[in-house]
């Protein structure tokens, strides 16, 4: 859903506008052509007219008629996700109940219960968007509950989010950051999990375009500059394979497919390489036309033909034919040594597998072959339902757990009897134990992986065979939460720890009861609340637990007054001027010389802030302010490792900020320099930094090993412009291989 506002009409007059809307609607009908059954066209027309009438006075931020948004969402549902008529109707109506006078009863009267349920699900998702963090995570729980009820809700929601990302241009900068972060944090991984790879990729690229515009433009430009030579290379690579596949009488398509900007950037960061050093800027895809019973056989035959022509890298073979991913993805991936000594990734699939890879869940249901395949999504939904039924789970924790537990890539491991179990990447032996049964997880003391003894924290890898060792004396402890990633393991450990806490808290209960009776007060709910507030414990359970473990000794009880049997806490002591609250310190005026950030929406006074340690921003970096609890305003870079989480979960605490020009203040930053250990190279570096550019060096360490040196220099710079100039000058020096910025301690 997107915010709708009434603003003046854009360029087109009313008549042309109507024609424009009809043109978009006819475009939707064209993509639906093959799916239309008798009567469907009339139903669609009714839905379209209903939505157009309801939204007729509404405009998008760009000024265009709002109805173009639901039409576009419906088109994505059909064309890119492969949904049918019912979903198209729901997509056309997805914002009507929330934003207009149309009610669920009106929709049920026209379209029946099935469509109404889906629209209701979409409305519930939207109603708590753009609120505070806990509600946002609560909202995500609602999305998932609806997903397990009818997955079409989430598929339409993904289409809605994709269209909003495609039209984010007209939004304000802070809104762009918030929506992009939310997309990268939740919606792109969810699209991936639904098997919608194209949508996931586009969402990641669009989010990067707004969150890291400079890097996005840099890689896009590089891809554009190298397109011609890449096309030539792909053609040279494909030519001999085409001949061999034709000779073997395969019916196939073969083509090169560019990798996404986001995935190229991830490779550059992960491997610490430049754009030129990323070998897989594209992948070769081979689609084989094979009958169902010969699919596997034909894919392996194609693999054999490829590896006859080009040498494969043995550790880069991915066999998702024998063990499809739990989102239904099937394929063979291999990386081979192509012409001119370049590694090339080759993906082999059949036409059926390709449709599942492109359309994910919707296509998966179209081909219901074999119980095992059919149950993969069902198993996943069952696990989500199980996780959602835990009423004590904090929503923000749940969102984080969900990402690691349900949206991560999977590994497959084997039980001692050879059964396959799917687990998220990063799962430990303890996750596996809880996956088998809660009782086994709770009593787990170790495991045997591939017949070797390992600790319960051991991180599992695909193909491991695992046997759990238990002991009746074992019980979960708080440390366990550090090395489990699955939602089931986390919630069961937390439940057990809470139960233990309750037992200990019972002892505190008797202590408190005696003390209260001594002063004539009762053990009532309101008295427990009063004491919890006074001692600043999160809950009455925490209060009783702290009393039991002697963290609270109740000596302050004598300062309380008792009315009837009701406790009244003593009045807090008035603060002296020196004891000003965090809030007052937070808005302390800054000396003019220090005010190098402009903070919007906070009056013209300068507000105290601190630069976040996780990303160490310097002037010129793209930044945002974040109101922390107790520590005032922290400034983060938009590409900070924590940015996506903060912007997606705590959007209401984000403050728009930008740098003001100020040349009087210097900021400490670090550079890592790698190059050839040549005579005089260190002198050249220090001469450039201190001599020519006159930067103040705070610290410098150089390590040389086997002809390569690695230098770490901490320097004071005034802004990003100065830093970029220094990096450019260093890289252009002979013998310097690469220069990277890092965040100083």
The CATH H-level superfamily of 373-494 is Beta-grasp domain (3.10.20.30)
Which helix (H) or strand (E) element contains residue 667? strand 667-676
Strand order of the β-sheet with 633-637 is 609-611, 633-637, 623-627, 654-655
Q: Is the pLDDT of residue 77 over 70?
A: yes
d(CA 256, CA 258): 7
The CATH H-level superfamily of 14-211 is Hypothetical protein af1432 (1.10.3210.10)
Q: What CATH architecture is 667-742?
A: 2-Layer Sandwich (3.30)
Which helix (H) or strand (E) element contains residue 454? strand 452-454
Full 3-state SS string of 39-73: CHHHHHHHHHHHHHHHCCCCECCCCCECCHHHHHH
CB of 54 within 8 A of CB of 96?
Answer: yes
pLDDT digits (tens, 9 = 90+) for 203-241: 999 999 998 898 999 999 998 888 898 899 999 999 999
Q: Which of 352, 329, 360 is nearest to 151 (CA)?
A: 360
Question: Catalytic residue positions?
Answer: 98-99
Q: Which of 437, 472, 431 is nearest to 449 (CA)?
A: 431
d(CA 68, CA 73): 9
pLDDT digits (tens, 9 = 90+) for 314-325: 888 888 888 887
Question: Using alpha carbons only, how large is the chain's radius of gyration in Å?
Answer: 30
The single residue listed with the structure tokens 């000596």 is 555
Residue 73 pLDDT class (50, 70, 90 cuts)? very high
Which helix (H) or strand (E) element contains residue 703? strand 696-705
d(CA 564, CA 579): 35
Instruction: Report the relative pairing of strands 633-637 and 466-470 from DSSP bridges.
Output: unpaired
Instruction: Please tell me the least confidently modeled range out of 147-156, 247-256, 575-584, 687-696.
Output: 575-584
Q: Ranked by mean pLDDT, which of 36-40, 156-160, 533-537, 716-720 comes out on top? A: 156-160
645: number of Cβ within 10 Å: 17
CB of 425 within 8 A of CB of 411?
Answer: yes
d(CA 131, CA 512): 39
Which pLDDT belongs to residue 612? 85
Mean of all residue pLDDT scores within the chain: 79
Among left, alpha and beta (phi > 0; psi -120 to 50; other), residue 616 is left
pLDDT digits (tens, 9 = 90+) for 156-169: 889 999 999 999 98
Which pLDDT belongs to residue 302? 94
DSSP assignment letter at 183: I
Q: What CATH architecture is 220-367?
A: 2-Layer Sandwich (3.30)
Which pLDDT belongs to residue 521? 81
Q: Is the pLDDT of residue 676 over 60?
A: yes
CB of 710 within 8 A of CB of 703?
Answer: yes
Rounded alpha-carbon distances, angstroms, from residue 217 to 221, 224, 282, 587, 717: 6, 10, 18, 37, 25
DSSP assignment letter at 559: G
Q: Tokens at residue 587, please?
A: 């808005």
- Side-chain half-sphere CA neighbours of 133 within 13 A: 19
- pTM: predicted TM-score of the whole model, two decimal places: 0.62
Q: What is the DSSP string of 6-20?
A: -----SS-HHHHHHH
Which pLDDT belongs to residue 664? 57
**Domain boundaries of the chain, sorted by first residue:** 14-211, 220-367, 373-494, 495-568, 578-659, 667-742
d(CA 636, CA 181): 14
d(CA 184, CA 239): 38
Q: Is the pLDDT of residue 363 over 90?
A: no
pLDDT digits (tens, 9 = 90+) for 468-477: 998 888 888 8
Which helix (H) or strand (E) element contains residue 307? helix 295-309
DSSP assignment letter at 718: S
Q: Is the pLDDT of residue 409 over 80?
A: no
CB of 335 within 8 A of CB of 303?
Answer: no
Q: Tokens at residue 31, please?
A: 């993509």
CB of 170 within 8 A of CB of 60?
Answer: yes
Q: Tokens at residue 9, please?
A: 């009409």
Q: Name 143's Cβ contacts closer than 8 Å, sequence gap at least 6.
A: 125, 153, 154, 157
pLDDT digits (tens, 9 = 90+) for 265-311: 988 888 777 888 787 788 999 999 998 889 999 999 999 999 999 99
Q: Ranked by mean pLDDT, which of 141-150, 359-368, 434-443 comes out on top? A: 434-443
Measured over all CA atoms, what is the biggest interatomic distance in the chain, rounded to whole angstroms? 97
Which pLDDT belongs to residue 630? 64
* Residue 656: φ, ψ to 5°: -70, 130
d(CA 47, CA 91): 10
Residue 133 pLDDT class (50, 70, 90 cuts)? very low
More confident residue, 590 or 93: 93
């Amino acid at each position: 859903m997107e915010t709708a506002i009434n603003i003046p009409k854009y360029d087109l007059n009313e008549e042309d506008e109507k024609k424009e809307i009809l043109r978009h609607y006819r475009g939707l009908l064209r993509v639906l052509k093959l799916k239309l059954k008798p009567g469907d066209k009339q139903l669609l027309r009714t839905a379209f007219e209903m939505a157009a009438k309801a939204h007729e006075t509404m405009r998008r931020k760009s000024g265009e008629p709002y109805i173009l948004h639901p039409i576009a969402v419906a088109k994505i549902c059909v064309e890119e996700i492969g949904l049918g008529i019912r979903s198209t109707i729901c997509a056309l109506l997805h914002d009507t109940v929330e934003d207009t006078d149309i009610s669920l009863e009106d929709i049920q009267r026209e379209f029946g219960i099935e469509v109404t349920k889906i629209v209701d699900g979409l409305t519930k998702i939207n109603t708590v968007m753009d609120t505070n963090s806990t509600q946002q995570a609560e909202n995500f729980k609602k999305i998932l509950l609806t997903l397990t009820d009818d997955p079409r809700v989430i598929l339409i929601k993904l289409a809605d989010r994709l269209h909003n990302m495609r039209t984010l241009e007209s939004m304000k900068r802070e809104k762009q950051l918030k929506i992009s972060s939310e997309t990268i944090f939740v919606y792109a991984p969810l699209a991936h999990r639904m098997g919608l790879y194209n949508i996931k990729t586009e969402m990641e690229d669009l989010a990067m375009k707004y969150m890291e515009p400079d890097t996005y433009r840099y890689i896009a430009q590089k891809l554009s500059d190298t397109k011609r030579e890449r096309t030539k290379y792909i053609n040279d690579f494909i030519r001999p394979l085409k001949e061999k596949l034709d000779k073997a009488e395969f019916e196939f398509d073969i083509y090169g497919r560019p990798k996404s900007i986001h995935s190229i950037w991830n490779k550059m960061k992960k491997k610490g390489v430049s754009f030129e050093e990323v070998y897989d800027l594209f992948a070769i895809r081979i689609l084989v036309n094979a009958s169902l019973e010969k699919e596997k056989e034909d894919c392996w035959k194609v693999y054999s033909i490829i590896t006859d022509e080009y040498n494969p890298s043995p550790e880069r073979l991915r066999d998702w034919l024998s063990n499809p991913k739990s989102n239904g993805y099937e394929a063979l991936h291999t990386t081979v040594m192509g012409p001119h000594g370049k590694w090339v990734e080759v993906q082999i699939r059949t036409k059926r597998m390709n449709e599942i890879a492109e359309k994910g869940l919707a296509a998966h249901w179209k081909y219901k072959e074999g119980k095992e395949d059919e149950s993969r999504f069902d198993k996943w939904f069952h696990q989500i339902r199980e996780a959602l039924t835990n009423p004590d789970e904090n929503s923000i924790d749940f969102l984080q757990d969900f990402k690691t537990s349900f949206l991560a890539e999977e590994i497959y491991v084997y039980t001692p009897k050879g059964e396959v179990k799917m687990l998220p990447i990063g799962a430990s032996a303890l996750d596996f134990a809880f996956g088998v049964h809660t009782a086994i997880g709770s009593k787990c003391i170790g495991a045997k992986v591939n017949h070797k003894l390992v600790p319960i924290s051991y991180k599992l890898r695909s193909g491991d065979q695992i046997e759990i060792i238990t002991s009746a004396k074992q019980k979960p402890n708080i440390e366990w939460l550090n090395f489990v990633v699955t939602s089931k393991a986390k919630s069961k450990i937390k439940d057990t720890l809470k139960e233990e806490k309750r037992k200990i808290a019972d002892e505190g209960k008797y202590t408190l009861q005696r003390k209260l009776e001594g002063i004539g007060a009762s053990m009532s709910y309101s008295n427990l609340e009063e004491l919890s507030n006074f001692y600043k414990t999160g809950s009455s359970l925490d209060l009783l637990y702290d009393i039991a473990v002697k963290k609270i000794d109740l000596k302050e009880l004598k300062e309380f007054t008792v009315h009837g049997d009701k406790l009244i806490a003593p009045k807090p002591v008035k603060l002296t001027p020196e004891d000003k609250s965090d809030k007052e310190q937070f808005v302390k005026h800054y000396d003019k010389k220090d005010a190098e950030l402009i903070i919007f929406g906070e009056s013209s006074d300068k507000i105290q802030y601190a630069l976040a340690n996780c990303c160490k921003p310097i002037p010129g970096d793209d930044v945002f302010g974040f109101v922390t609890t107790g520590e005032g305003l922290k400034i983060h870079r938009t590409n900070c490792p924590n940015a996506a989480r903060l912007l997606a979960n705590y959007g209401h605490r984000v403050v728009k900020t930008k740098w003001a020009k100020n040349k009087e203040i210097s900021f400490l930053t670090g550079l890592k320099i790698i190059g050839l250990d040549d005579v005089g190279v260190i002198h050249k570096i220090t001469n450039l930094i201190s001599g020519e550019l006159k930067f103040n060096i705070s610290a410098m360490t150089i390590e040389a090993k086997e002809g390569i040196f690695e230098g770490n220099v901490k320097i004071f710079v005034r802004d990003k412009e100065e830093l970029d100039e220094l990096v450019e000058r260093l890289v252009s020096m002979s013998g310097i291989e690469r220069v990277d910025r890092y965040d100083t301690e």
